[in-house]
Amino acid sequence: QQPVQSPQAVILREGEDAVINCSSSKALYSVHWYRQKHGEAPVFLMILLKGGEQKGHDKISASFNEKKQQSSLYLTASQLSYSGTYFCGTVYYGNNRLAFGKGNQVVVIP
Amino acid sequence: EAQVTQNPRYLITVTGKKLTVTCSQNMNHEYMSWYRQDPGLGLRQIYYSMNVEVTDKGDVPEGYKVSRKEKRNFPLILESPSPNQTSLYFCASSRETGRRTDTQYFGPGTRLTVL
């Protein structure tokens, strides 16, 4: 029941943009995004509910396409602090729990 | 300070020796959960609890037990640990459950090695 995240890893230079994706084979009620720095616990970024909404956290924004059962996270004008592993978590209709994907590793270099 | 605490933070043990990893939150959260993190496999849910005395299996429950006798505590029990349970474990809690699942607050993690 894990959502599928892609690409597995992204390397980008400071100031560049990147998009990472999270998709599901089941109907989603909500999508959650977390970021984990090396050796630390995951930290909450944002939650997106059904309805195709978009949200933002600094220059990181996300969209949720309910019809495609997919969410995308947009890293705009990336900063060194954006490096880390990004996890999406999904809540399905008829389910009470949050399941995470395998993560997208993002490395931002100077 | 609002937080989720786990103990111990690091543990090295031997196969078959029962152990308990404690998790406690001070935010009066209903929902608590245990995850294990292994390289390349992401965060996999072991067990979760929607409230006191209500627990359910996640994706990888085999070899683990949990209990939720009090709202604030959610211990993870390994009755007979095996080397394949060597992993980094995270406890998490959130205010609400299910379709209203809220922000998950993660504990600092417990790194377990089973020899």
Residues linked to residue A61 through DSSP beta bridges, in sequence order: A56, A74
Is B39 part of the contact surface with chain A (CB cutoff 8 Å)? no
CB-based contact A69:A25 (threshold 8 Å): yes
Average pLDDT of span A52-63: 75
Q: For A3-40, what is each residue's pLDDT tens digit?
A: 999 999 999 999 999 999 999 988 888 899 999 999 89
What's the pLDDT at A54? Answer: 63
Average pLDDT of span A71-85: 95
Nearest neighbour of A96 by CB, restricted to B44, B50, B102: B50
The reply to whether omega before B8 is within 30° of 0 (cis) is yes
What is the distance between the terminal CA atoms of chain A, rounded to a whole angstrom?
37
Decide if pLDDT at A51 tops 70: no
Distance to chain A for B54, nearest Cα, Å:
12
Average pLDDT of span B18-24: 98
What's the pLDDT at A2? Answer: 87
What's the pLDDT at A58? Answer: 72
Q: What percent of chain A has pLDDT over 90?
A: 62
What's the pLDDT at A91? Answer: 87
Distance to chain A for B82, nearest Cα, Å:
23
List CB contacts (< 8 A) between B102 and chain A.
Answer: 47
Distance to chain B for A14, nearest Cα, Å:
25
Nearest neighbour of B59 by CB, restricted to A1, A89, A91: A1
Q: Helix, strand, coil: what percent of chain A each, to 5?
A: 5, 55, 40
Average pLDDT of span A67-90: 93
What does each C-alpha distance from B24 to A11, A34, B46, B66 come to in angstroms?
37, 21, 17, 13
Distance to chain B for A50, nearest Cα, Å:
11
- The first and second tokens of residue A1, run together, are 């029941």
Q: For B32-42, what is each residue's pLDDT tens digit?
A: 999 999 998 99
Decide if pLDDT at B24 tops 60: yes
Is B3 part of the contact surface with chain A (CB cutoff 8 Å)? no
What does each C-alpha distance from B100 to A27, A43, B3 come to in angstroms?
16, 19, 21
What's the pLDDT at B9? Answer: 97
What does each C-alpha distance from B87 to B8, B41, B42, B43 come to in angstroms?
13, 11, 11, 11
Is B101 part of the contact surface with chain A (CB cutoff 8 Å)? yes
Under an 8 A CB cutoff, do B98 and A96 touch?
yes
Average pLDDT of span A73-77: 94
Decide if pLDDT at A56 tops 70: no
Residue A75: pLDDT band with limits 50, 70, 90 = very high
CB-based contact A54:A46 (threshold 8 Å): no
Is B5 part of the contact surface with chain A (CB cutoff 8 Å)? no
DSSP B85: G
B38, HSE (Cβ side, Cα atoms, 13 Å): 12
Under an 8 A CB cutoff, do B42 and A102 touch?
yes
What's the pLDDT at B97? Answer: 62
- The first and second tokens of residue A109, run together, are 């270099």
CB-based contact A90:A99 (threshold 8 Å): yes
Nearest CA in chain A to B102: A47
What's the pLDDT at A30? Answer: 87
What's the pLDDT at B2? Answer: 83
H helices then E strands: how many in chain A? 0, 11
Return the C-alpha torsion angle B74, B78, B84, B90, nearest 10.
10
Average pLDDT of span B56-66: 96
